[in-house]
C-alpha cells in the first residue's frame, strides 16, 4: 500500500476522531448545561422550602395557642407552666389564676399508672396514648388521652414536659356502647336458630360461623377455618350454586336465595334455604359474603307431603264415582274426570279434552238425553244465570238417571271465573227409593190395620204417631192426639204419675209390658196390655218411645168373674164341711141310741127272742156299726182340707207300731214292720190315718192261710218311698185308678165303707206326694207312697 494511500486513510481516521471528539464535547456541553439548569432549579426550590418551613413554624405557634386540643406544659413536679384555652376549659383550672398541679387532678385509681407512665416518659423522652381519668374543677370525671414529650434545656437536661390532651370521655362511652352492641350482636349471632357465616372474598375459611351452623352441618368452628360452607354442597346442587356465586362476583346481583342440599359431616343430607349476600366496598368490589342457612328439612318434607296429597287428590278426582266437569268463564273445559267421560260417552281420556268448547260439546252430546232440546236449553240457562242449582235430574235415553249439581265459581273480587258441574248416576238410588216407598206403604198398611194399638211419643211424651186401632181404642181422633202430650188424655191422677214413671224407664232404655187401666173418651174403663220400648235414632240416642197396646178388657172381666166364683166355691165348701160335721154328729147320736137300744133289747129279751130274732138284732148291730164307720170316715174325709195346720216330727215307726196295736189282726196274719222307718215332718194324725187305712185294708183282704203284711221304705235323695205289701187277693188292673175315688169298694168286707183309699189319696195330695200300686190278683198288692222329706 502506498504511503499516499496510507496518509489518506490516516487523514480520514484522524478526521473522524476529531469529529468524534467534537461530537463528544458537544454532548458533554449539553449535559453540563442540563446540570446547571437543574442546580439552579434545586436552589430556588430549596429557598422556597426554607420560606415554607418558616411560615409553617409561625403558623404552628399560632396553632398551639388556638389548638382545639388541650395543650399543657408542666414542670417535672406536675405544676402547670403553660396551658391553652382548650386545656383551661377541659380542666376547669387556669394556671394564671392559681397553681395547678396535674397530679392532684388525677383520679386516685389512675395514680400508680400515671407514675409509671411518667417514668417511661423520662426514660424515652416521649410517651404516647397515655390514658387516664382526671377530675375537673366542677368534679366531673373525664377520660383524657395524652401524647407527651420532654422539653430539654440547651445542655440536654429535661426541664419540663409538654402534652396534648384530648377529652375521650365520649369516645370511651361510644366504645363501650359499641362493645355492648357487639356483645348483643354476638348473642344474637350465636343463638340464632338460623346458621350464619361470614367469609372474606378470596380467602379460605370462614371469619365467623355461629353455633347453629356448626350444629346443622356437624363441623366445628375450627374445621370451618379451612372450609367454606359451599364446600359441603351436595354434588347435585353444585352447578346451580356455582352459577349463582359467579353472578354475585360479576356484580349482576347483590344476593341470592337458594333451596339446596348440603352434606353433613356425618354424611347425612341437609335441606336448607341459603341466602348469600355480598358486602361491597367503595369500588363495588366484594369485601365479605354473608350466608344465612336455614334448615328447611321439615318444610321440605311438608311440601313433599303437600304435593303427594295434591297428587292423591287429583287421582281421587280422576277416579271419583261422580262425573266432574270444570269450565272457565268462556266455557272452555279446564278439568274432567274418567266418570264424566264415561257418562257422556267421551272416548278420549280426560286430559285430552282440556280446552274443549263446552257449549259445542253440550250440543254434540244432547242426543244422549231423553229430551235433547230441554237438556241443551237447561244447560245454557243455568250457565247464564250463574246460580247454584243442586240435584237437577237428567233422564238419559238408555234409562240412566243422572243428578247434576251446578256450582258457579267466583274469585275473591267476586268475578265469575267459571263453574263446576258434578254428575251422579242415581238410577239405582232412585229405584231403591221407590222400592223403599213401597215397603213403607206396606208396613204402614199393616200398622194401620193391625188389631193392636200403636202409639209413638217423643222424649217429652208428645204424640207423634197413632194408628187406626189406637184411635178406635181411645176414642180420640188422630187429629186430636198428634202433637199433644199423652198425659192430656189420662183423666185420673194415678194414670198420669204411672205414665211419668214409665217415661223415666224408657229414658233408661228399659222396655217392659204392663197392664194399664185407661178411661176412654166416653168415660168407659178399659184394660190395656201395654208393651213399651224406647225408640232410638240412627246414632243410638233415645228419642222417645213406642207403645203397642192390646185391649184386654174382656179377658179382665172374665178373670174377675172367675175370682168371684172361686170365692163362692170356697164359701160353699166351708159350709159343706160344717154341714158334714153337724150331719155326722147328728147322725151319730141316733145311731148310738139305736146301738144302745138294740143292745138293751138283746139283753132284756134274749130269752124271748128266738134264734132268728137274735140274728136280726146282731145284724142291726153290725149295720149300725158299719153306719158309724161310714159316718166317721165321711167326717174324716171332709175334715181333711188343704190347710196343713200342724207340722211336727213324726216317727213313722212309732205310728205304724201303734196302729198294729189298734187294729184287729187275726192270728194267721203277721205284720212285719221295718224298725228303721224314718222320722218325717207332718201332722201325726194324718200319717196315722194314712197308714191305718192302708194297713187295715192289707190285713182285711188276706185270703191265704198264712197272711203276711210288710211295712218298709226306701230313701231317695229328696223323698221317702214307703211301701205296704200284702199277700192278699190282689186288685185287678182296671181298678188301679178307680179305687182312689170315694165310695169305691172292691170287696164286701164288713168294715169297708169305700172311703178309706179316698182319704189316703187326699192326704197324699195334701203333702204333695204320690201314691201308686203294684198288684197281681191272687198273689198280693203293694201300695207305694212317696212323701217329700
Query: Looking at beta carbons only, is 10 or 605 nearer to another protein?
Result: 10
Write phi, then psi, for 133 (nearest 5 degrees). Answer: -105, 140
Query: Looking at beta carbons only, is 5 or 123 nearer to another protein?
Result: 5
List, in sequence order, the alpha helices (H) in 67-149.
85-91, 102-105, 111-124
Q: What stretches of 589-668 adopt beta strand conformation (E)?
A: 648-651
Q: What stretches of 121-203 adopt beta strand conformation (E)?
A: 126-135, 141-152, 158-167, 195-200
* Angle at 282 (CA atoms; ends 281, 286), nearest 5 degrees: 25
Nearest alpha-carbon partner for 163 in 131, 195, 196, 191: 131
Smallest separation (angstroms) from another protein to the CB of 7: 12
The grid coordinates of residue 312 equal 292423591
Separation of alpha carbons 551 and 450, rounded Å: 13
DSSP three-state, residue 146: strand
| Strand 669-673 with 707-715, pairing | parallel
Buried-exposed string 727-759: b where 16+ CB fall within 10 A, e elsewhere? bbbbbeeeeeeebbebebebeeeeebbebbbbb
Query: Looking at beta carbons only, is 14 or 354 nearer to another protein?
Result: 14
Smallest separation (angstroms) from another protein to the CB of 144: 52
Separation of alpha carbons 238 and 196, rounded Å: 20
Smallest separation (angstroms) from another protein to the CB of 188: 54
Q: Positive or negative, the Cα torsion across 466, 469, 474, 478? A: positive
Smallest separation (angstroms) from another protein to the CB of 38: 15
Contacts of range 713-718, beta carbons closer than 8 Å, 24 or more positions apart:
713/652, 713/674, 713/676, 713/677, 713/678, 715/678, 718/788, 718/789
Smallest separation (angstroms) from another protein to the CB of 27: 5
Kind plus residue range of the DSSP H or E element containing 190: helix 169-191
Query: Looking at beta carbons only, is 5 or 283 nearer to another protein?
Result: 5
Other C-beta atoms closer than 10 Å to the C-beta of 644 total: 12
Smallest separation (angstroms) from another protein to the CB of 36: 18
The grid coordinates of residue 459 equal 222424649
The grid coordinates of residue 502 equal 214409665
Query: Looking at beta carbons only, is 24 or 187 nearer to another protein?
Result: 24
Kind plus residue range of the DSSP H or E element containing 472: helix 468-474
Query: Looking at beta carbons only, is 6 or 561 nearer to another protein?
Result: 6
Question: Do the Cβ atoms of 229 and 217 come closer than 8 Å?
Answer: yes
Query: Looking at beta carbons only, is 24 or 308 nearer to another protein?
Result: 24
Q: Positive or negative, the Cα torsion across 41, 46, 47, 51? A: positive
Smallest separation (angstroms) from another protein to the CB of 32: 13
Residues near another protein (CB under 8 A) are 1, 6, 9-10, 12-13, 16, 19-21, 23-24, 27-28
Smallest separation (angstroms) from another protein to the CB of 1: 7
| Burial of residue 135 (number of CB atoms within 10 Å: 0-12, 13-18, 19+) | middle
Smallest separation (angstroms) from another protein to the CB of 192: 53
Going by the DSSP 8-state scheme, the letter that residue 644 receives in this structure is: -
Query: Looking at beta carbons only, is 2 or 266 nearer to another protein?
Result: 2
Query: Looking at beta carbons only, is 20 or 582 nearer to another protein?
Result: 20
Smallest separation (angstroms) from another protein to the CB of 17: 8
Smallest separation (angstroms) from another protein to the CB of 20: 5
Query: Looking at beta carbons only, is 24 or 159 nearer to another protein?
Result: 24
Smallest separation (angstroms) from another protein to the CB of 37: 18
**Torsion over CA of 317, 318, 319 and 320, rounded to 10 degrees?**
40
Query: Looking at beta carbons only, is 29 or 434 nearer to another protein?
Result: 29
Query: Looking at beta carbons only, is 21 or 247 nearer to another protein?
Result: 21
Separation of alpha carbons 176 and 143, rounded Å: 13
Query: Looking at beta carbons only, is 28 or 644 nearer to another protein?
Result: 28
- Residues with Cβ within 8 Å of residue 105, at least 6 apart in sequence: 91, 93, 134, 135, 136
Cα first-last separation, the chain: 193
Smallest separation (angstroms) from another protein to the CB of 35: 15
Amino acid at each position: 500500500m502506498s504511503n499516499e494511500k496510507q496518509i489518506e486513510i490516516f487523514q480520514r481516521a484522524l478526521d473522524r476522531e476529531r469529529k468524534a471528539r467534537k461530537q463528544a464535547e458537544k454532548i458533554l456541553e449539553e449535559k453540563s448545561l442540563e446540570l446547571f439548569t437543574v442546580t439552579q432549579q434545586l436552589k430556588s426550590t430549596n429557598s422556597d422550602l426554607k420560606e415554607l418551613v418558616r411560615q409553617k413554624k409561625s403558623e404552628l405557634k399560632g396553632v398551639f395557642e388556638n389548638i382545639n386540643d388541650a395543650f399543657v406544659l408542666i414542670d417535672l413536679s406536675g405544676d402547670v407552666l403553660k396551658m391553652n384555652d382548650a386545656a383551661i376549659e377541659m380542666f376547669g383550672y387556669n394556671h394564671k389564676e392559681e397553681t395547678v398541679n396535674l397530679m392532684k387532678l388525677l383520679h386516685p385509681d389512675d395514680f400508680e399508672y400515671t407514675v409509671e407512665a411518667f417514668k417511661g416518659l423520662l426514660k424515652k423522652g416521649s410517651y404516647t396514648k397515655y390514658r387516664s381519668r382526671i377530675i375537673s374543677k366542677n368534679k366531673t370525671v373525664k377520660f383524657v388521652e395524652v401524647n407527651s414529650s420532654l422539653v430539654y434545656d440547651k445542655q440536654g437536661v429535661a426541664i419540663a414536659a409538654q402534652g396534648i390532651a384530648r377529652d375521650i370521655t365520649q369516645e370511651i362511652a361510644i366504645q363501650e356502647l359499641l362493645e355492648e352492641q357487639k356483645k348483643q350482636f354476638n348473642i344474637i349471632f350465636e343463638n340464632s336458630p338460623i346458621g350464619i357465616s361470614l367469609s372474606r372474598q378470596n380467602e379460605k375459611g370462614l371469619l365467623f360461623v355461629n353455633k347453629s351452623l356448626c350444629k346443622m352441618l356437624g363441623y366445628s368452628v375450627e374445621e370451618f377455618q379451612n372450609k367454606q360452607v359451599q364446600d359441603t354442597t351436595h354434588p347435585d346442587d353444585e352447578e346451580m350454586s356455582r352459577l349463582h356465586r359467579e353472578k354475585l362476583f360479576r356484580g349482576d346481583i347483590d344476593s341470592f336465595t337458594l333451596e339446596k342440599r348440603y352434606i353433613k359431616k356425618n354424611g347425612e343430607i341437609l335441606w336448607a334455604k341459603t341466602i348469600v349476600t355480598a358486602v361491597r366496598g367503595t369500588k363495588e368490589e366484594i369485601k365479605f359474603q354473608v350466608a344465612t342457612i336455614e334448615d328447611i328439612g321439615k318444610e321440605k318434607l311438608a311440601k313433599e307431603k303437600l304435593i303427594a296429597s295434591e297428587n292423591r287428590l287429583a287421582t281421587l278426582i280422576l277416579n271419583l264415582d261422580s262425573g266432574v266437569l270444570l269450565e272457565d268463564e268462556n266455557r272452555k273445559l279446564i278439568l274432567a274426570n274418567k266418570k264424566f267421560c264415561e257418562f257422556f260417552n267421551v272416548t278420549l281420556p280426560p286430559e285430552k279434552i282440556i280446552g274443549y268448547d263446552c257449549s259445542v260439546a253440550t250440543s254434540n252430546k244432547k242426543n244422549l238425553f231423553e229430551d235433547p232440546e230441554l237438556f241443551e236449553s237447561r244447560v245454557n240457562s243455568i250457565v247464564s244465570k250463574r246460580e247454584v242449582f243442586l240435584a237437577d235430574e237428567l233422564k238419559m235415553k238408555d234409562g240412566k238417571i243422572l243428578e247434576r249439581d251446578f256450582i258457579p265459581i267466583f274469585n275473591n273480587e267476586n268475578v265469575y271465573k267459571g263453574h263446576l258441574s258434578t254428575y251422579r248416576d242415581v238410577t239405582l238410588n232412585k229405584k231403591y227409593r221407590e222400592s223403599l216407598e213401597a215397603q213403607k206403604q206396606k208396613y204402614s198398611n199393616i200398622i194401620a190395620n193391625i188389631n193392636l194399638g200403636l202409639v209413638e211419643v217423643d222424649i217429652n211424651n208428645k204424640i207423634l204417631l197413632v194408628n187406626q186401632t189406637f184411635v178406635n181404642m181411645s176414642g180420640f181422633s188422630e187429629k186430636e192426639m198428634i202433637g199433644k202430650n199423652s198425659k192430656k188424655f189420662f183423666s185420673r191422677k194415678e194414670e198420669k204419675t204411672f205414665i211419668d214413671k214409665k217415661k223415666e224407664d224408657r229414658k233408661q232404655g228399659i222396655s217392659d209390658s204392663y197392664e194399664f187401666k185407661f178411661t176412654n173418651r166416653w168415660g168407659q174403663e178399659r184394660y190395656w196390655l201395654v208393651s213399651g220400648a224406647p225408640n232410638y235414632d240412627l246414632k243410638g240416642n233415645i228419642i222417645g218411645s213406642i207403645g203397642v197396646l192390646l185391649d184386654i178388657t174382656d179377658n179382665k172381666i172374665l178373670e174377675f168373674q172367675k175370682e168371684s166364683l172361686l170365692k163362692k166355691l170356697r164359701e160353699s165348701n166351708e159350709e159343706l164341711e160344717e154341714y158334714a160335721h153337724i150331719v155326722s154328729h147328728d147322725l151319730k147320736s141316733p145311731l148310738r141310741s139305736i146301738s144302745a137300744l138294740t143292745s138293751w133289747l138283746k139283753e132284756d129279751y134274749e130269752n124271748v127272742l128266738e134264734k132268728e130274732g137274735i140274728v136280726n138284732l146282731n145284724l142291726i148291730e153290725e149295720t149300725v156299726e158299719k153306719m158309724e164307720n161310714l159316718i166317721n170316715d165321711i167326717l174324716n174325709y171332709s175334715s181333711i182340707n188343704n190347710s196343713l195346720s200342724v207340722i211336727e216330727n213324726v216317727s213313722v215307726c212309732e205310728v205304724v207300731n201303734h196302729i198294729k196295736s189298734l187294729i184287729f189282726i187275726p192270728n194267721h196274719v203277721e205284720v212285719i214292720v221295718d224298725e228303721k222307718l224314718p222320722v218325717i215332718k207332718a201332722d201325726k194324725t194324718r200319717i196315722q190315718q194314712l197308714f191305718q187305712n192302708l194297713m187295715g185294708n192289707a190285713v182285711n183282704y188276706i185270703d191265704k192261710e198264712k197272711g203276711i203284711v210288710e211295712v218298709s221304705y226306701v230313701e231317695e235323695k229328696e223323698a221317702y218311698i214307703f211301701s205296704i205289701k200284702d199277700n192278699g187277693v190282689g186288685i185287678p188292673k182296671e181298678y188301679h185308678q178307680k179305687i182312689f175315688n170315694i165310695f169305691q169298694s172292691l170287696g164286701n168286707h164288713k168294715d169297708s165303707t169305700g172311703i178309706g183309699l179316698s182319704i189316703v189319696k187326699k192326704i197324699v195330695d195334701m203333702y204333695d206326694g204320690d201314691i201308686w200300686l203294684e198288684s197281681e190278683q191272687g198273689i198280693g198288692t203293694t201300695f207305694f207312697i212317696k212323701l217329700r222329706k
